Amino acid sequence: MIAFWMMTGLAAAMAALSVLAGARRGVDPASGVETQAGAREIEALDRLKARGLLDDDAHASARAEAGRRLLATAATTAPVAGARDRLWVLAGIGVTVAGALGLYVATGTPGLPDQAYERRVDAWSADLEGLAPTQLAAVAARVARERPGDRQALAMLGAARFAADDPLGAASAFRRLIDLDPKDAQAWARLGESLVVANDNQIGGDAEAAFRQALTLDPGQLGARFFLGEAALRRGDRTAARALWTPLIAALDPADPRRQDLERRLPEARPPKGMAQ
């Protein structure tokens, strides 16, 4: 809490300094200097006429031009802030900070002591029900750190990070799992899926290689089969897509919306009559 209050005070001071600096610039009488210069120009024209150096027509023309410039300067001059205006600005900043503090006191918990991250993870570990995906990922990360050789812990860590919208973290966990067990087909498939999400749903070379390895180890990895078929379809290779998706369509229930979507996108991929459903 001490750090919080220190940062709050520093932010308020910086805001006040910025506003006061702007208000100070408004006090500079730049427009007054321009007005005085215009008045001196008119006086100089009058003196020249009095000495006979300007005739009536030239004097009237030059004086009218100087007057127009003086009026234009007055019309475009920004309002000038007075010295006391800065006190009002400072008072406004003080009221704003006091209001924010009052709102925090009313809705927050000012006396709550600092909670270190590890203590929060302790609390989350004690009761997993209702945790947010990011909190579950934090708990799984601790378990994986404490048991680095535990394949199940790494699999849970990858799944938790994926659910927490951290596909790069998930990919890292699945790679560690593959290092422990290179023949884990599901880990290869989940690695490929994480790479696809991290790449804005583009199926890159690394992801495609992971999916192919998953299918090599286990042809029943339907997720890997889907993404490889999708990659083939995006390349325009309908023959490869049909070969990859036909077993996938056959494995899905006829009423499954996913099967209907695959059949709609690739009509030739429907399994021939007599194939097991």
Q: Is the pLDDT of residue 271 over 70?
A: no
Which one has a higher pLDDT value, 52 or 139?
139
Domain boundaries, the chain: 2-107, 129-235
Beta-carbon count within 10 A of 10 CB: 10
User: What is the structure's pLDDT at 269?
Assistant: 45
Which one has a higher pLDDT value, 147 or 128?
147
User: What is the structure's pLDDT at 277?
Assistant: 40
The residue type of 146 is E
d(CA 79, CA 26): 8
For 219, which DSSP code?
T
User: What is the structure's pLDDT at 83?
Assistant: 59
User: What is the structure's pLDDT at 120?
Assistant: 87
Sign of CA dihedral 74, 78, 83, 88: positive
pLDDT band of 121, cuts 50, 70, 90: confident
Which one has a higher pLDDT value, 214 or 48?
214
pLDDT band of 152, cuts 50, 70, 90: very high
What values do phi and psi take at 145, rounded to 5? -70, -40
Chain Cα centroid distance, residue 84: 41
User: What is the structure's pLDDT at 276?
Assistant: 43
Which one has a higher pLDDT value, 277 or 100?
100
Cβ-proximal residues to 214 (8 Å cutoff; 6+ apart), any chain: 185, 186, 188, 189, 192, 221, 224
CATH fourth-level superfamily of 129-235: Tetratricopeptide repeat domain (1.25.40.10)
Q: Is the pLDDT of residue 42 over 60?
A: yes
d(CA 223, CA 227): 6
Q: Structure tokens of 10?
A: 């520093």
pLDDT, mean of residues 17-32: 57
- Enter the pTM of the model: 0.57
Cβ-proximal residues to 112 (8 Å cutoff; 6+ apart), any chain: 1
Percent of the chain at pLDDT > 70 equals 66
Which one has a higher pLDDT value, 16 or 254?
254
Which one has a higher pLDDT value, 189 or 5?
189
The residue type of 187 is A
- Give me the chain's average pLDDT, please: 79
Place of tokens 């459903």: 277
pLDDT digits (tens, 9 = 90+) for 189-235: 999 999 999 999 999 999 999 999 999 999 999 999 999 999 999 99
Task: Look at residue 242 and give its three-state secondary structure.
Answer: helix
pLDDT digits (tens, 9 = 90+) for 57-114: 666 776 677 677 666 665 555 555 555 666 776 677 777 777 777 777 777 666 665 5
Q: Are 207 and 227 in contact (CB under 8 A)?
A: yes
